[in-house]
Amino acid sequence: MSLTALSLSLLALVGAAVVVDLRLGDPRRLPHPVVGMGRAIAALERAWNHGTPQARRWRGALLTMVVVAGSFALVWSLLALLARLHPWLALAAELWLVATALSIKGLADAARAVATPLGRGDLPAAREALGMIVGRDTERLDEAELARGAVETVAENTVDGITAPLFWALLGGAPLALAYKAVNTLDSMVGYRNARYADFGYASAKLDDLANWLPARMTALALWLAAWAMPGARYRGALAATWRQAPRHPSPNAGWPEAMVAQLLGVQLGGTNHYAGVASHRAVLGVPLSEGGEPLAVGHIGRAIRHMHGGWLAFLVLMTAVILVKETLT
């Protein structure tokens, strides 16, 4: 069994991009593709999001097609142009573009920004830090709720910010990885079930669900496999419990990493959040206190970050195995 040169080059590219992201994260002084996507989406939303519900759905579908296909075509064309100038230019550009699709360092840093002040009892600073990464109201949250918000963010964004971009990059390099980021950005900007976006963002939300469907489930498995090497992880029974609990989440995908992380930590995630003062209830996932669960605390944030790192490493191993089997059978 052996990997083709193309698969080996993609694995090497993705591995190098992971190293770049871990080392540099997203330097603010450098332009970021997602910023450009966001500006394009905002401009098109202002121009197209009007009319009847049916018209909004059609224009929203057009927005999705234009942004996703445009992102793929733009990246592919840029790399092709650079390859004509010099292959190393194209390689360097693709490496950087794949690295921009990843958020390993950024996600860990954002969670630690909550954990650090929370650990010293500075609730106002912890609330402010959590408010930078979640949409819920944070002004009155106590330690347990602040920890829950940070742990849920780490769990859910392990897929959106790490494993799903890795998945699509391994299938199609930077063009497909950036097309995925376009899908993800569309969902984060217009994929809401409210009066303004329910119709216009329908196609974006559905495409995001589809793009994350397999990566989310593979991530839950990868988190569980990695947990076997982590002291204190409650991996026994976690796979079966996640299978039962994940469908309770309102998102078809977010429940899988959240339920798995909750099981591995031995805590409960989910419950009631407030958005602009309005309560929103979601299913509780994880291990109840009555069954030996632990009360959420600041220490669980650091443990969630460790599971995140173990998860994406195991995910890369899983993807390599899948690619190897696929090429053996073809």
Residues 13-48: tens digit of each pLDDT: 999 999 999 999 988 777 889 999 999 999 999 999
DSSP conformation letters of 49-63: --SSHHHHHHHHHHH
How many Cβ atoms sit within 10 Å of the Cβ of residue 9?
13
Retrieve residue 309's tokens.
Answer: 């790192």
- How high is the mean pLDDT of the chain? 95
Integer angstrom CA distances of residue 304 from 78, 107, 308: 37, 11, 6
pLDDT at site 2: 57
CA distance 140 to 123: 9
- In the predicted model, is pLDDT for residue 282 greater than 50? yes
For the stretch 125-144, pLDDT in tens is 999 999 999 999 999 999 99
CA distance 261 to 288: 14
Backbone angles phi, psi at 134, to 5 degrees: -130, 160
In the predicted model, what is the mean pLDDT of residues 270-294? Answer: 93
Report the amino acid identity of residue 120. Answer: R
DSSP, res 246: G
In the predicted model, what is the mean pLDDT of residues 259-268? Answer: 98
- In the predicted model, is pLDDT for residue 148 greater than 70? yes
Q: Whole-prediction pTM value? A: 0.95
* Residue 118 confidence class, pLDDT cut points 50, 70, 90: very high
Retrieve residue 150's tokens.
Answer: 């940070």
- In the predicted model, is pLDDT for residue 6 greater than 80? no
- In the predicted model, is pLDDT for residue 4 greater than 80? no
CB contact at 8 A, 177 and 168: yes
DSSP conformation letters of 149-190: HHHHHHHHHHIIIIIHHHHHHHHHHHHHHHHHHHHHHHHHHH
CA distance 226 to 139: 35
pLDDT higher at 94 or 6: 94
Relative to beta strand 268-275, strand 278-286 is antiparallel
* Residue 1 confidence class, pLDDT cut points 50, 70, 90: very low
pLDDT at site 263: 98
CB contact at 8 A, 211 and 180: yes
CB contact at 8 A, 269 and 152: yes
Total tally of structural domains belonging to the chain: 1
In the predicted model, what is the mean pLDDT of residues 226-234? Answer: 95
pLDDT at site 3: 67
* Residue 324 confidence class, pLDDT cut points 50, 70, 90: confident
pLDDT at site 186: 98
For the stretch 172-225, pLDDT in tens is 999 999 999 999 999 999 999 899 999 999 999 999 999 999 999 999 999 999
Domain hosting 58: range is 5-329
